[in-house]
Amino acid sequence: MKKITKFLFMIVAMLFATITFSQSTVTGKVEDAGLGLPGANVVEKGTSNGVSTDIDGKFTLNTQGASGELVISYVGYSSVTISFNGSQDLGTIKLSPDNSLDEVVIIGSGVIDLAEDRKTPIAVSTIKAARIQEKAGNSDLPELLKSTPSVHTTQRGGFGDGQLFLRGFNQTNTAFLLNGQPINSPEDGRMFWSNWSGVLDVANAVQVQRGLGSSKLAISSVGGTVNIVTKTIDKKEGGFVQQMIGNDNYTKTSAAYSTGLMENGLAVSAMFGHWQGEGYVDHTEGQGQTYFLSFGYKINENHILNLMLTGAPQWHAAAGNADLEDFLNEDRGRRYNSWNATGVNSPNNLKSGVYPGGRNVYHKPVINLNWDWKINEKSELSTVLYGSKGRGAFVQSQFDRNSGEATYARGSNNNHDWYGLVTNYSNELNENLSFNVGADVRLYNGIHYRSVNEFFSVDSVSDSSIYNGGSYEITEVFGGINPWNLLFNSNDDHGQRLHPYYDYEEDINYLGVFGQIEYTKDKFSAYFQGSASAQSHVRTEYGNSSEEGRGLESEKVNNPGFNLKLGGAYRINDQNTVFLNTGYYSRQPYHSDLFIDDRASNQLNPLSDENQNVTGVEAGYKFMGDKISANVNLYYTVWDNRIDYDSEDTLGANGLPINEDVPNTDPAFNPADNIADVFYSTSGIKQVHMGGELEIFARLVDRLELQGFLSIGNWEYDGDVTLNESVEGGASTSTGEVSYIDGAKVGNAAQFTAGIGAKYEILPRFKIDANWNQYDKLFGNANYGGSEFSTQDNRGSIELPSYDTVDAGLSYKWLVGKDDKNSIQFRLNVNNVFSEVYLEYSDENKHVDAGDEAWNGVNVENRVRFGYGRTWNFSMRYNF
């Protein structure tokens, strides 16, 4: 026993001696822009041993090892790792602001429009690569941003169907950029995240610029701008292999490798992935691939080229909303998918098991070539040339009205060819004055038609109707339901398209120029920014004409537009900065606003020839303390002179909508009973959005990071509008003023949001994190436009129940390989930990009247979608 005691004593003594005699004393000073940073954290890597810098930014640390690395961090700044060997003075250590992306963005920095490109601040939040890697999981990009001020997200039921609202404006009014390239649809401004399902795998950062933002392009942004910055040239060689699994049999495998910047100036990066899953909502299966290729060449210190190709071919089944009372049925629940309804003459009637609810099938490869030219020490030119070819369809089963048997799959194709150029020249005139000018060119051809994508119980489809001037017979299938086949085998034969109503193209050409000048002196900075653009539209109709008359072009519509921005900032001291920005947009209407209907008509909407007006004012305050940093923003945005519209399908004599592709076997059915569609439009719609935002980051103690946000908004309609009702051909049947819209709340996004997040390092490289988010003042979609006007009352928008969710995660990095250069990362995400039951949105605005059934104060006849319950994903990633 004594021998064992002595042995243990010797071991302890040896360890103590080793620790004692291996200690070193390391000193240094932490600075930013020549000024000491008090309160910066200096920690010996792999230990909890650390100190904070003093009032002058200086530190002295007695290390546990004779050599090793120090990690220097400061709230709001990028951390720095520095090696030490014995006792030494490390001298001055400079930190850069945390939102700077200079170290990861090399190519095309002049056209990406990051907030860091300008010294005058804006309301901005940046999510860096490490957080993206942790939190993205199996969600769409909008979910990653839900803990950002004034951001509200909905999942909508299907893979890639997520939606984002920014300061109360939906995705059509938020600009999205990929490495400086606009990616909103030129036709209607919509975003389809299923086309970008792999973008987070290669993202270096996602930056949310709320409100006016710093973008120089003449983009149609009302709520703000979201910049997605992907990898281009990596400085170091390396890669990863990752496997992820998740709820409802989700699985995702991905791998990436980069050569780094080699001695010959070349750099190659590649990433490939495959995913599939059954979906949280019933019958929302999906699968797809992701590919990313980047070829960089650094010609010399002044010229860098990069060619990037990326795409995400996929298919996923869709989910529809339904009456609230349908979800409350004890046999259904919140996973219910109304688009799987069966039975003759029921909405979206489908044969069970064949394309439940419809399937989105799409492939949109994007290629761009970037060139950065450093002309001299004061001037640079950045240019990106890009193109995309989108091919795909929304595929639905068609059926026999009597038997309910599925006969074939019909695809509504939404194809396009899109080419563009963005170029920007910047120059520092002197130490106080800089400017840049550039151009934005976009050429877009949209191709829309219906086709047979698969035959089930028939070998052909034929019809004879008054819409295409004669009969047709479809005997061929193009592309099927495979996104790769649709890309290379789309239907270019007008004779094999389902002609009635739906076979047309549009050409949208855009030319914009922009410029900015910024002045900085001492503690003051100011900028002026302006852009002007010209946009043209031509629609070509193929469906509603005889064989000889196909290809009728509409008149050419030209719309000029412009925007102006002005702002200034004053840096009170190293910790406090205030700023004020204002701007005005004269925004062109979308192509979908110009033409009143996509059903065999080149008819222009007579109310859409005027631009919409957007006015914004915002003020901000930034605090950068030693332990806490905070941003406060106030905003006021007016979106005026916009229109909304709708049209109603004409009913046949049997009281059912005419199905133009499948003959109606009802003896009473007579195609001649069809009359021109009724078209409704409203003009003079005005929305006023105002509110305040608070965002806080804190590191009060070692190993604990805190963040929080608070958003308070008041978004409502202002004033009266004019309702116009007409029939196809433009003859107005009634016009009148509607007053009950005034003061109604804007729906679909919570006007009060708040959240708290924390991350704690339990052990070295073992961390736990959690986020709590609260949502309140969420209103139903009032549908103040089109035919819905006739069903509204003067009680405003219905309010949905408030709710809160908790998300949590665990991560561990295991260092492996020689000198611990490689690692294996484990990550677990659990979203909506307590499985909160809540309404995600309501597409209707039916109030509760006497005798109505209600759930938590909501009329059960409203068409809604519930949010997801508890979901999870787990990943293992080997980095090398």
Whether the CB-CB separation of 574 and 35 falls below 8 Å is answered with yes
Output DSSP code: residue 59: E
Give the per-residue pLDDT at 97.
Answer: 58
CA distance from start to end of the chain: 48
Q: How confident is the model at residue 130 (pLDDT cuts 50, 70, 90)?
A: confident
Task: Identify the pLDDT of residue 792.
Answer: 54
Q: For residue 400, what pLDDT is reported? A: 74
pLDDT computed for residue 340 by the predictor: 63
* pLDDT for the residue numbered 294: 93
What stretch of H or E contains 54? none
Q: Which amino acid is at 138?
A: N
pLDDT at residue 736 in the model: 63
pLDDT band at 680 (very low <50, low <70, confident <90, very high): low
Task: Show the DSSP H helices in 163-277 as ranges.
Answer: none
Predicted confidence at residue 200, as pLDDT, reads 86
**Model confidence at 542, in pLDDT bands (50, 70, 90)?**
confident
Which CA distances in Å does 82 have to 29, 92, 300, 626, 756?
13, 11, 29, 21, 32
d(CA 854, CA 848): 7
pLDDT tens by residue, 307-323? 999 999 999 988 888 99
| Mean pLDDT, residues 355-360 taken together | 76
pLDDT at 759: 94
CA distance 449 to 599: 10
* Beta strand pairing call for 35-36 and 124-128: unpaired
Report which of 228, 87, 230, 218 is spatially closest to residue 144, judged by C-alpha positions: 228
H or E segment and range at residue 18: helix 2-21
pLDDT at residue 343, as a whole number: 34
pLDDT attached to residue 454: 87
Question: Is residue 351 very low, low, confident or very high in pLDDT (cuts 50, 70, 90)?
Answer: very low
CATH topology assigned to domain 115-230: Ferric Hydroxamate Uptake Protein; Chain A, domain 1 (2.170.130)
> For residues 501 and 773, which has the higher predicted lDDT (pLDDT)?
773
- Mean pLDDT in residue range 700-728: 85
Span of 133-147, 192-206, 235-249, 786-800 with lowest mean pLDDT = 786-800
Could you tell me which of 190, 186, 225 has the C-alpha nearest to residue 594?
A: 186
DSSP code at position 868: P
* 69 within 8 A of 786, measured Cβ to Cβ: no
The conformational region for residue 453 under phi > 0 = left, psi -120 to 50 = alpha, else beta, is: alpha
Q: pLDDT tens-digit profile of 18-44?
A: 444 456 889 999 987 566 777 788 888
Among 179-183, 228-232, 606-610, 680-684, top mean pLDDT goes to 179-183
- Tally of residues, the chain: 880
pLDDT at residue 56 in the model: 75
> Which of helix, strand or coil describes residue 201?
helix
Q: Which of the four CATH numbers 3.40.50.150, 3.30.1330.60, 2.40.170.20, 2.60.120.20 does domain 238-879 have?
A: 2.40.170.20
Task: Please compute the mean of the pLDDT values over residues 476-484 and round it to a whole number.
Answer: 86
Q: Which residue has the tokens 């019809």?
A: 463
Assigned token pair, 649: 């399908």
pLDDT value of position 476: 87
Mean pLDDT in the chain? Answer: 83
Average pLDDT over residues 251-256: 96
The pLDDT score that the predictor gives to residue 215 is 80
- The tens digit of pLDDT for each residue in 398-448 reads 877 677 677 888 888 999 999 999 999 999 999 899 999 999 999 999 999
Cβ atoms < 10 Å from Cβ of 110: 24
358-414 pLDDT per residue, tens: 889 999 999 999 999 999 989 999 999 999 999 999 988 887 767 767 788 888 899
pLDDT at residue 27, as a whole number: 93
**Do the beta carbons of residue 199 and residue 227 sit within 8 Å?**
no
Percent over 70 (pLDDT), the chain = 81
Q: Where are the domains of the chain?
A: 2-94, 115-230, 238-879
Q: Compute the average pLDDT of residues 342-365.
A: 60
- Residue 740 · residue 794 · CB < 8 Å: yes
- Return the higher-pLDDT residue of 635 and 53: 635
pLDDT surpasses 70 at 693: yes
- Could you tell me the pTM of the whole model? 0.84
Radius of gyration of the chain (CA): 29
pLDDT attached to residue 95: 79
Percentage of the chain exceeding pLDDT 90: 48
User: What span, in angstroms and rounded, lies between the C-alpha atoms of 874 and 815?
Assistant: 19
CATH topology of domain 2-94: Immunoglobulin-like (2.60.40)
User: Would you say 738 and 177 are in contact if contact means Cβ atoms under 8 Å apart?
Assistant: no
Q: In this structure, is the dihedral angle defined by the CA atoms of residues 442, 305, 205 and 579, taken in order, positive or negative? A: negative
pLDDT for res 878: 95
Q: Above 60 in pLDDT, residue 166?
A: yes
Give the span between the Cα atoms of 201 and 136, in whole angstroms. Answer: 9
